[in-house]
Structure 1
Amino acid sequence: MKKIFLLLLSSFSVFAQNNIIPAPVSYEVSTSSGMNMFMLDSRTSIDVTDDNPDAKRIAENFVNSLGFMAGQKPAFKKVATPTMQDKVMIFTINKNADAKLGNEGYTLEVDGTTIKCAANKPAGLFYAIQTLRQMMPPQAENKEFSMGMFPIMGCKITDYPRFGWRGLMLDVSRHFFTKDEVKSYIDLMARYKFNTLHWHLADDNGWRLEIKSLPKLTEIGAWRVPRVGGFGKREDPKEGEAATYGGFYTQEEVKEVIQYANERNVTIVPEIDVPGHSMAVLAAYPELSTKKDVKRYVNPGTEFADWFPNGTFKMKIENTLNPSDEKVYEFLDKVFTEVAALFPNKYIHMGGDECYHGYWEEDAGCQAFMKKNNLKDVHELQSYFVKRVEKIINKKGKTMIGWDEILEGGLAPNATVMSWRGMKGGIEAARQKHDVVMTPTTFAYLDYVQGDPTVEKPIYASLSLRKSYQFEPVPDSTDAKYILGGQGNLWTEQVQNYRHALYMTYPRAWAIAESVWSPKEKKNYTNFLERTENHFARFDAANLKVSKAVYDAIVTTKKDGDKIICEMACDIPNTEIYYSMDDSFPDKFATKYTTTFEVPKGDITLKVITLRNGQPLGRMLSIPRAELEKRAKK
């Protein structure tokens, strides 16, 4: 036991300084007299001030999470005078609210005998516990590790969020995640003080929510033929082939997930993406399209659109609802009636993005409808559709939110805008005095490649951890009061399982968490990387998947006449880079990178590895000369 304890203290000295993500507003090392360290063990008591039921529930959840206590969990009791032998954790809901803390802030004080968690609301106490968990050594995340005690550094913390909307979006249409996987995703996001799960429930590739008045949505729309390989490269269904891949959430399962999220201070915002991205709807109810083609199916990931260099596209398959058909609005009224009854939060997301107008332009019914309603073009037709949808949603007592395309043709009067095509849409919406959630591709798209393309699944864009950390939700010259916050988006065209979803989400979600929680002036990328390494260890201890692409070398090239000049770097401090170009595999005895060099002509492959203290740190990159030449042309 003594050896284990010394090992624990050794790791504690490395990890337990302020490694909190997102960085708190204020953190001070305690200067109280006596031992400046609290030892959490079975002799710790739990005291809930005034027996507040909300505080007690949070305290009980914390105690139940202490798997390392080996069955000897802290007891609930009052402690008049705490000592080293009779330590106490005190949970308090403030009788007199501390204005600076708001509804989600907290204070946390730790010394040798006492941990005090205080907040105005239960949400703040919940976040105090998330911070406290991060102050324990990484071994505390391993449910099989049985130690019986863990040290927590003495400190004083005051903390509260910068923004009220701190979100992650999970796309369950392209890949269906089970109820338990969604719960696990919520668990992790709550740990990093995200409070909004944007649940992308419907798209071209699957409808995932039971709508009892429209049973075909899940009988047909939730299933597609099984296919492997990248999206856009898959085959259409064969004649008679069964649609067996997919799934959906029953309304009872949704209620269970909502309750689970509520207990973790996470609000769920459901998205039903219309009028585009509706192939799954049209597979079930083809009469809602312009062509009314009954030979429809849920798309398994075929190449269904041509994309052009200017960002425009042409659909090969109709995937839009018919905005001139009154039956479409009757259908949506049924859908949103049940969605509104299920989800207690303020918002319903109606999508509105990437709506192809070509089939509307070709349809005589749409053209006659536009003429009758004095709509000059298809952009105004889409605006008409969006405004009709907003009225439906508002009648259910909800506020509509949509992607920034809902600005086109005129914004619905009460809509909130989610700006994804950069910040421009959000800036314009704020100028029109509409609320905005910033989630630009440039900083927040978690499906983008996060490491060197030679070792990551290729996709059309990249997003490094460094770039994610640069996310600033309030653009210059924009009134901050209209910016609700920001979020990261995980689209799952190329994400086939839950562990891969975690790999794509983290650590970039930690960077986004810091942008939406921590004070702007607190952000420091070098310090963030130090804390990130601690959280790598925490994920490893919990057997959770996380991307460590930030350890890999960053290899860039440029042209100097006919020469290709190579430059290499690594974001992580105290890292050395070694490389070879003779088909050998580099190690600490290979050529050490110190400055730029010319890539020799010939059929060579550059192999690169990063090391720390002589041990491999990142993955080995293997980059052919042709790829180095390609990078020099960008």
Structure 2
Amino acid sequence: MKKLFLIITCCFVTASTFAQNIISETESGDAEGSLVQTPCAIIPEPVSLMKKTGTFTLPENVIIQTTKSAELKQSIAYLSDRITTATGKFVSTLASSTHPTIKLILNAQDDTQLGAEGYKLNVNPTQVVITANKPAGIFYGVQSLLQLFPAEIESKELVKDIKWKASCVDVVDYPKLGWRGLMFDVARHFFTKQEVKQFIDDMVRYKFNLLHLHLADDEGWRIEIKGLPKLTEIGAWSVKKTGTFGDFIPPTPDEPRTYGGFYTQEDIKELVQYAQERFVNILPEIDVPGHSLAIIASYPELSCTPDAVNYKVRSGEKIMDWSRGAPPIALVDNTLCPANEKVYTFLDTVITQVAKLFPFEYIHMGGDEASHNFWEKNDQIKQLMQREGLKTIPQVQAYFEKRVEQIVMAKGKKFMGWDEILEGGVSPTAAVMSWRGMKYGIQAANDKHNVVMSPTDFAYLDYMQADAITEPKVYASLRLNKAYQFNPVPASVNAQYVIGGQANLWTEQVFTFRQVEYMLWPRAFAISESVWSPIEKKNWTNFVDRTEQHFKRLDFAEIKYSPAIYDPIFMVKRSADKQLMVELTPEIDGLDIYYSFDNSTPDRFYPKYTGALQVPKDANMLRVITYRGKQPIGRLISMPVADLQKRTK
């Protein structure tokens, strides 16, 4: 009887212990705190992650140990702030400790596998250890560590009743590409210095290291240049308009030009330092010779067109005719004049100061979408072509680009432009940012130009990310699934010349920073994984699971994001007997779609979508909503039948 009792007792204890081990790997909490899941959901996906049994729990007093506190001050400050803010725990830094909580170690000898930005993260039940060759690696290890804690670690205020646990793991991680960028267009709409800092804070969570600032365009000049005061007195300001950019009524002369702003040189220095402290370089872009209306409104003498004296900074009215595609037909001449020597004197002044303000090795000089119709009929251009032996207008732009590159190189910097600079011939030393698909980047890299891939197909974050009925209207769409397919180093390219990849956020239809966030996330998750993680580690289903975990993190961080992955994709067609048919396709698995045609609001007790819907003859509205189980998860979408009918034409 005793033996039977012992056997039963042993089985009970074993089962209990096994259950506790299961719980410890997936949940935190006990009588003192709530249960919180702590899955391994790191974005971007590490090179290697091995999950071990058990969990690590933050103690009340967190000791960060490092003998390199001066070199690692950014990571220490970042980690300390994040822990203290959300958990309320006391954090101290010591050079030595008997029982350190988190050890940050710079390798005495470089681990060649890790490079300058790689790290190793070891989370054990009693201690966390992050090792790296360089401070940047430690910083990225900190980002991954924080992502192992409950989502509440992102909170900007104290969160109580949480047991702060992280899964025990061994991580080895390093980036695929050295240039991992996001472009922020601050020209179309001005964003404050504090908002740019917030942009930097958000991007480093996901291991981006390059902020491309688009500082000049038709809608505004955003950087102080000493000796050229009109650039910011005139060029930085437009008339405030609300609605759909590009379709605004042209402003009247009496409307106040008070909308906009610019960064002083002290602002720029502050932003550069702020970025460097977070291991981010800032690439400045001055877009010329096209997209230059703000310059010409300030200094009309830099135009080929006498009427430029009447030009104003664009406020969102139509200035281009895109009916024939690119390059567009200009309705006003928004180009600098390649035949005017004053242009090169002007650019020398600008580039001299930009080069001193931004320590990054490259300066981006634009070169995209330069309209040629005003050049084609200009006598100065004709004389330039005859003098220089230029046969075509693209060669005129190539002449301009080569002269601008010489100015950039004279300041000790490297020249970069959009892929249009390849047309008409380009200097062998020019670097190319390929935006019109992958083909120009592949061509440039195979011709031994340094290339950054930023193709519209995968990486244009100003594109609509859900159905047009839910979004500010833009001429194209980019769903999360498509962004996740971005491969910046395709098999057909000379990989040694692909120095990086990035996503671009143009802001014509982006008026506020909250909308900036909405456009970035979660598509920037997909881009971060495309430029950091090995391609063989990418898995859509796994990525979606991690993305949903990070939605919770963004909620606590008070960062806006798009829930478009929960919205169905609408496909409209006519049946053989001319009936209007609608197909609804979820972007992710595991969702149910419910609908109504009777103008009421559907829930899970309404008809469930199982196949193509025939639109009732007299219906005027289709409403749909997605559920996961019994919980509504998608947005209620109201789709007018009239809109569906237009889509069949």
1:119 to 132, 140, 154: 132
2:72 to 55, 63, 74: 55
Does 1:183 find its partner at 2:214? Answer: no
Q: Deviations over 1:43-88 (max 9, x none)?
A: 221110x335212442133112224466542222356553xxxx52
Distance in 2 (alpha carbons) for counterparts of 1:284 and 1:598: 57
2:638 to 611, 616, 622: 622
Q: Which residue of 2 aligns with 1:531?
A: 546
1:44-443 equivalence runs, <5 A: 44-48=62-66, 50-68=67-85, 71-77=88-94, 81-82=98-99, 87-147=100-160, 150-292=164-306, 293-443=308-458
Does 1:490 find its partner at 2:489? Answer: no
1:585 to 601, 612, 636: 601
Compared CA separation, residues 138 and 11, structure 1 to 2 (3 A): farther
Which runs of 5 or more structure 1 residues have no equivalent in the other structure? Answer: none
Does 1:551 find its partner at 2:566? Answer: yes
Q: Which moved more, 1:557-566 or 1:341-350?
A: 557-566
Compared CA separation, residues 305 and 56, structure 1 to 2 (3 A): closer
1:498-517 equivalence runs, <5 A: 498-517=513-532
Distance in 2 (alpha carbons) for counterparts of 1:567 and 1:221: 48
1:21 to 43, 49, 54: 43
Does 1:12 find its partner at 2:36? Answer: yes
Distance in 2 (alpha carbons) for counterparts of 1:610 and 1:70: 35
Does the 8 Å CA contact 2:151/2:552 hold for their aligned counterparts? yes
Q: Deviations over 1:205-247 (max 9, x none)?
A: 0000000121111111111122222111213232233310110
Q: Which moved more, 1:288-297 or 1:235-244?
A: 235-244
Compared CA separation, residues 412 and 63, structure 1 to 2 (3 A): same
Distance in 2 (alpha carbons) for counterparts of 1:4 and 1:150: 7
Q: Which moved more, 1:51-60 or 1:455-464?
A: 51-60
Distance in 2 (alpha carbons) for counterparts of 1:490 and 1:317: 25
**What is the deviation of 1:565?**
3.0
Compared CA separation, residues 526 and 70, structure 1 to 2 (3 A): closer
Q: Deviations over 1:443-484 (max 9, x none)?
A: 111111111111111111111011111111123321111111
TM-score, normalised to structure 1's length? 0.95
Does 1:475 find its partner at 2:490? Answer: yes
Q: Which moved more, 1:73-82 or 1:163-172?
A: 73-82
Distance in 2 (alpha carbons) for counterparts of 1:530 and 1:25: 18
Q: Deviations over 1:144-184 (max 9, x none)?
A: 13338511111000000001111000000111000000000
**What is the deviation of 1:132?**
0.9
Three-state SS of the structure 1 residue aligned to 2:428 is coil
What letter is aligned with 1:88? Answer: T
**What is the deviation of 1:409?**
0.2
Compared CA separation, residues 356 and 7, structure 1 to 2 (3 A): farther
Q: Which moved more, 1:553-562 or 1:522-531?
A: 553-562
**What is the deviation of 1:383?**
0.1
What letter is aligned with 1:111? Answer: N
Three-state SS of the structure 2 residue aligned to 1:584 is coil
Aligned-residue Cα RMSD (Å) equals: 1.8
What letter is aligned with 2:559? Answer: L
Distance in 1 (alpha carbons) for counterparts of 2:123 and 2:309: 66
Q: Which moved more, 1:605-614 or 1:307-316?
A: 307-316
Compared CA separation, residues 58 and 208, structure 1 to 2 (3 A): same
Distance in 1 (alpha carbons) for counterparts of 2:193 and 2:630: 44
Distance in 2 (alpha carbons) for counterparts of 1:8 and 1:237: 63
What letter is aligned with 2:183? Answer: M
Three-state SS of the structure 2 residue aligned to 1:185 is helix
Three-state SS of the structure 2 residue aligned to 1:98 is coil
Compared CA separation, residues 259 and 92, structure 1 to 2 (3 A): same
Q: Deviations over 1:102-157 (max 9, x none)?
A: 10000000111110001000000000011111111111111213338511111000
Distance in 2 (alpha carbons) for counterparts of 1:527 and 1:40: 27
Q: Which moved more, 1:362-371 or 1:600-609?
A: 600-609
Does the 8 Å CA contact 2:368/2:421 hold for their aligned counterparts? yes
What letter is aligned with 2:58? Answer: L
**What is the deviation of 1:585?**
1.4
Does the 8 Å CA contact 1:67/1:146 hold for their aligned counterparts? no
Three-state SS of the structure 2 residue aligned to 1:46 is strand
Three-state SS of the structure 1 residue aligned to 2:433 is strand
Does the 8 Å CA contact 2:119/2:173 hold for their aligned counterparts? yes
TM-score, normalised to structure 2's length? 0.93
Compared CA separation, residues 379 and 617, structure 1 to 2 (3 A): same
Does the 8 Å CA contact 2:33/2:163 hold for their aligned counterparts? no
Does the 8 Å CA contact 1:430/1:478 hold for their aligned counterparts? yes
Three-state SS of the structure 2 residue aligned to 1:489 is strand
**What is the deviation of 1:594?**
1.7
Does the 8 Å CA contact 1:41/1:74 hold for their aligned counterparts? no
Three-state SS of the structure 1 residue aligned to 2:90 is coil
Q: Deviations over 1:286-326 (max 9, x none)?
A: 00001233222111010111111544421111100000011
What letter is aligned with 1:421? Answer: R
What letter is aligned with 2:50? Answer: E
Does the 8 Å CA contact 1:21/1:531 hold for their aligned counterparts? yes
Q: Deviations over 1:560-617 (max 9, x none)?
A: 3123332222223321111111222111110011222333333432211101232221
Does 1:597 find its partner at 2:597? Answer: no
Distance in 2 (alpha carbons) for counterparts of 1:330 and 1:75: 54
Distance in 2 (alpha carbons) for counterparts of 1:78 and 1:318: 63
Distance in 2 (alpha carbons) for counterparts of 1:4 and 1:27: 21
**What is the deviation of 1:5?**
4.1
Compared CA separation, residues 578 and 389, structure 1 to 2 (3 A): same
Does the 8 Å CA contact 2:272/2:282 hold for their aligned counterparts? yes
Three-state SS of the structure 1 residue aligned to 2:36 is helix
Q: Which residue of 1 aligns with 2:7?
A: none
Does the 8 Å CA contact 2:86/2:153 hold for their aligned counterparts? no
Q: Which moved more, 1:265-274 or 1:614-623?
A: 614-623
Q: Deviations over 1:414-466 (max 9, x none)?
A: 11100101112111111211011111111111111111111111111111011
Q: Which moved more, 1:68-77 or 1:328-337?
A: 68-77
